Structures are given as structure tokens and as C-alpha cells.
Structure 1
Amino acid sequence: MPASPEISFVIPVYNKADVLPYVIRALAAQQPRPDAEYIFVDDASSDASVAVLEREAPAALRMVTVLRNTGNAGPSVRLNQGAAQARGRLLCLIDADELILPDAVALMQQALQLHDADMAHGKVIRSTLPPAQIVPAALGSMPDCRTGDRPLQMILQGRGFVRMTWLVETALFRAAGGCDTRIFIQDETLPLRLAAKAHRLVDFRGGMTLAPQTTSHLSADKRQQHHDRFFAYYNLLADQPALPAKERQLIAATCASIAWKAVRRSGLPLAQFATLGAYLQGKAGMAVSAGFLDRAAAAFRALPGIRQAAPSMQPLLSPSAPPS
């Protein structure tokens, strides 16, 4: 077996055949070419995604693995599945419809070293153009970024962390237990769980990837989005009771805010007056009661048609580093 690479790219894929050739091309255009492996995890795509990956990725990239699956389990499960096979010291996690800028990985790697950080996040620039019309341009120099040794507080008080452009230490990902596989979409759970275990975060203010116009987005389902956002925060509270009081208060307030939005926009079966009161309490910096959060959780569980991964489809991480 070849020596372990420095970076493992882990990319979950679901019905992205139209954009994958351009994603692969952008990966191959990285400057300088990284010492990397590329793990694409297909989530039972119904289009030609697997055929595109197996035809084009090995021709453009070294050390390519394409993982096929027979059931659709969601990106949280598939990210963990890919990360369990990763051999690199670092994980580069991007969505299968993001065109990464030519020097993005090198700059993010430099930033980790410069700031002694274990996780870095780059913003995604949304484009109205189709992928064939987008030509990612190199940044040329280190872009503006902010760092902090309270990563969870940065995530809780910031915006723009939900799209994936992450470079993180593999050891951190495994210490955090990866994504919460009780939740279908990883957008909120991944940064929260990583930040709760990290010692320093680098947040790039500018874009590191481009998201072209595509037709398929899980986040378009607002009911699913509200459900998964709520449980990303609620589960973190339940799973990590030793979190500092400031962070717990912020997390509870975010839960109340999500519940209030879901009552108004997604038909969440929860009393409007009580939910508005909890939202206003959280917004004012007051404690949101655990009892309200439990009632909100029960209401979210009662929503019909929410997609969740079957327990049998939740792969474990490395046996030597079980999920926390």
C-alpha cells in the first residue's frame, strides 16, 4: 500500500452527474498539486454520478476511491463512511457541487500551520451560472481570515458555516465523532461537533469554492432543514453536558429561534405563544427552559415525511476512535 497521503478529500455525492466533471477538474487544478487521496461516497444516486466518477476521476486524480451504496442514507452518514477510510492527516470536506479555487487547499493548509489551528473554514460563493461557464481563479495570496481559540462560540455567534469547505485534522474529526448520524443533513451538525472539540478555528472571510447553479439541493426542503438544524443543536446539548454555560445558553436560544421559524413556516405542531415566548427569552439573553426544548423536540419528531438514516446504515468511525 502506498504511503499515507497528507490530505484525504472526502466528498459525498448524490445525483450530481451534471456538475461532477467540473468538480473533478477543479480538484485536479490545485496549485501546487497536493499529496492527497480522493474518496467519493455515492449515496445511491439515481443518475449517472457513479459512472461519471469511475470514468473521469481516476483519469484526472491520483489515489481515487469511489464508494458505492445501495441505500440513500444522507450526507451525514456518507461523510462518516468516507472519513472512516481516510488515511490522510487532514480531511478536506467539500460538497459534490462545489468548484474549489486553484490555491484554496494550499492556503487553508498554510493557515492551519500559521495559526496552530486544527480546523479551517472557507466560504462558498453562489453563482447563477451553470458549471460549464465557471472558471475558478486563484486567490494569489492569503485572504482575510479571523481566528479564535473558542471555536464553538465563533460558530454559534457567526454566520455562513453551513456550506462545506472544511480542512480539518483527521484526529479532530474522529475525536468529535464526525457528523451526528441521527441527522440526515450535515450542514449544522458538522461544524458544531468539530468546534466543540477543536482548540482553534480559522475562518476565511472570502470564498474558497464556487457553487454553480444546479437543480438538486437537500436544503430546499424547509421542513427537513428546520428539523435537522434543531436537532444539531438539541443533540449537542444532550450529548455534551459539560459545555460552558455561555455556550449552552447560546445553543438553547438557537433551538428556540429555529422552533419559532418552524412554527411559522413549516407547520411545527407547537403552541405559538409559548414558542414565541421562548424565542424572545433567548433573544434577550435569558435562559430557555429544558422543558420547552424537550417539547419542541417531541414536536419536530412528530413531523411527517422527515428523512432519517436507518440505524443499520450508520457506519462507525475507526474502531480505535469510537464516536463520542
Structure 2
Amino acid sequence: MQPEVSFVLPVYNKENALRYFFASLLGQTGEIPFEVVFVDDVSTDGSLAILEEFSAKHDFVRVISNTVNAGPSIRLNQGAEAANGKYLALFDCDEILAPNALEMLLSLAKQHNADMVHGHCRKTTEPIDKVVAPPIEQDFRLGIHQNPLERVLGRGMVRMTWLVERDVFIVAGGCDETVFVQDESLPLRLSAHAKCLLDTDMVLTMVPDVGSHISQNTLQLNHDRFLVYLNFLEAHPELPHETRVKLYRKCVSALKKARRDGAPLPVIPLFARYVMGKIGFIDPNPLALKPYRNILRHLPNIRGIEKVNS
């Protein structure tokens, strides 16, 4: 049977969480044909063996293995390219899904003819083997956005709690592969091609503390944010001036935070750009920001595609 939904799940060293996540995936309600595409990013623990065990037991599970650790942006694109579903369900596989998460997402997408549906997560201090995600009730808030880019440029939507149409993902080019982590680039790039975005406060996943995450490296996050918005600004000169100013401000805000966290960025021109961007009195030319890219690229402990491939 042709799957309606493809779960596309990059994996790197998730041995301690995979069985619990997969159990919550198998417990999804509704008669929805789906497949699961795990993309292992050269895990150094027992993750790949567990994934292969899932695949051996379930014919709707596929495992893609690799020989080079390249990061979640590339691996998510790799999985989406291999997927067969009309929709892609995109989650972090060290979380626990609400039992009706997929059913609720798909119902909303169809009801509103939406290309993108986003939900929320809730952190918990419970160990993962004790976490139970409650069913989603009907009293959630729903925002319907016919200008998805405008919504994404507002309050951040960086959690991996998405249902998106695969065709939109492919046309958008998926994640920005010059950036190691996909959190910022995925919604931004998709929103440039989507016609309708639904933003809900449904709690789709429970997030236990299962160890360190790349998100704890704030310099990495601000490097990625800056690069994502700079690349997008360069790629879309056709956007209205007001939208380009918003993108420019996102770049400068990321630089300001990077300097706060220790990046050796010049104070006076950066402060001037920040103030001018705040009042909207600035030419949002990406050329003026390119020198900062080289500074951030050479910071220690920053993962970037050029470093992965070097």
C-alpha cells in the first residue's frame, strides 16, 4: 500500500531513546498508511543495530546508512528524497509522540488544505522509560497563515514537530545544506513555497532529558541562524523591501548574540547595524554582511558543511 505519510528521521547516537520513540510511533491512532525512513548519520553507539532490528521486523521501516557524519540538514534531505508519502512527518526521535499526533496533524492539513502544520513539545524531567505522552485534546489554539513566510519571520518555529507536503519540501530544496543543523533553515525555506501554514499549540511530543544536544552550543546556534538568513537573503532578491529588512535584522540579531557568547566581532559597526535595522533605516544588502561569515566560520567548535567535507 502506498504510504500517505513518511516519517523521516535522522539518527545520531540515539540508542537510549530509539525503542521508546518507536513504541510511541507504533501506537499512533487512526488508520493512516505510513512508512518510516530512518537515516543513520554514522552513529558510534548501538543506534544502527536497533534501526536494522526495526527494519527486519516491520516492512514499513527503511534504514539508510552512511559512511560520513554530515549532520541533520543533509540527512533530513536524504531521507525526504527517498520518501514515498504525500506528507513528511518530521520529528526528533529522542522524544515521545502523543498517541494521536499524526492523526491530528493530518486531519488539520486536509481540512485547511495546508502545506505545513506545526505543533509544540513539552519538556519533562521524567526518565524516558517513564514518559507517557497524553492524547491531544480538541481545545488547542490554531493560527491559519496564508503568508507562511511572514509567520516564520515572526516568533520562532524551530522545533522538529512538523507535517509538510513532500512536494513543497522538494521544490524548496529542503534544508540549507551549508548549515549543519536544520532547525532554522527548514521552516524558512519551506515557507517561501508554501501556500498555507497552520501554527498550533498542540503538544505533539514529550521531551525527556536524554543527554547533551547540539542546541547547548549557543555559538553554533547563532552561527547557523546568521548563515541561514544571509543565504536566504542572497537567494531571494525579489522579496519586498520590508521582508528583506526583516531578514537583515535576523542576521544582525544573530551576530549580536554571537558576540555576546564570545565571537570576536567588531562592536561599533555591529551596534550601528543593529540600531539602523531596528528603526528600518537600512539597505538590506547581503554584501555588507559577508565579512562576518568568514569570522564565524573559523570559530572553534563550530560545525559547518565546509568543515565536515574538509
Q: TM-score, normalised by structure 2?
A: 0.94
Match of 2:21 in 1: 23
1:54 correspondence with 2:49? no
| Superposition pairs of residues 191-270 of structure 1, within 5 angstroms | 191-267=187-263, 269-270=264-265
Match of 1:150 in 2: 147
* 1:128–1:212 CA contact under 8 A, matched in 2: yes
1:273 correspondence with 2:251? no
Cα distance in structure 2, aligned partners of 1:213 and 1:56: 24
Structure 1 segments unaligned to the other structure (5+ residues): 314-324
Q: Deviations over 1:227-264 (max 9, x none)?
A: 11111111001112212222211110010011011112
Task: State the percentage of identical aligned residues.
Answer: 40
* 2:244–2:284 CA contact under 8 A, matched in 1: no
SS at match of 2:163: strand
SS at match of 1:232: helix
SS at match of 2:254: helix
Match of 1:321 in 2: none
Match of 2:68 in 1: 71
Q: Which moved more, 1:235-244 or 1:70-79?
A: 235-244
* 1:278–1:288 CA contact under 8 A, matched in 2: no
What letter matches 1:228 in structure 2?
Answer: D
SS at match of 2:192: helix
The Cα of 1:216 is off from its aligned counterpart by 2.9
Q: Deviations over 1:62-90 (max 9, x none)?
A: 51001111111000000011011101110
Match of 2:40 in 1: 42
What letter matches 1:263 in structure 2?
Answer: R
Q: Which moved more, 1:5-14 or 1:287-296?
A: 287-296
1:136 correspondence with 2:133? yes
Q: Deviations over 1:133-178 (max 9, x none)?
A: 101111143622101111111011123x111011010100001001
Match of 1:88 in 2: 85
SS at match of 2:168: helix
Structure 2 segments unaligned to the other structure (5+ residues): none
Cα distance in structure 1, aligned partners of 2:22 and 2:170: 26
SS at match of 1:197: coil
Cα distance in structure 1, aligned partners of 2:74 and 2:296: 20
Cα distance in structure 2, aligned partners of 1:100 and 1:25: 9
Q: TM-score, normalised by structure 1?
A: 0.90
Q: Deviations over 1:91-113 (max 9, x none)?
A: 00111212111111111111111
Poorly superposed stretches of 4+, deviation over 3 Å: 56-59, 310-313
Q: Deviations over 1:27-60 (max 9, x none)?
A: 001011420000000101111111122224654x
* 1:15–1:216 CA contact under 8 A, matched in 2: no
Cα distance in structure 2, aligned partners of 1:91 and 1:201: 14
Q: Deviations over 1:289-313 (max 9, x none)?
A: 5343223223222324422235997
User: Which of these residues, 278, 288, 292, is aligned with residue 283 of structure 1?
Assistant: 278
Cα distance in structure 1, aligned partners of 2:283 and 2:271: 11
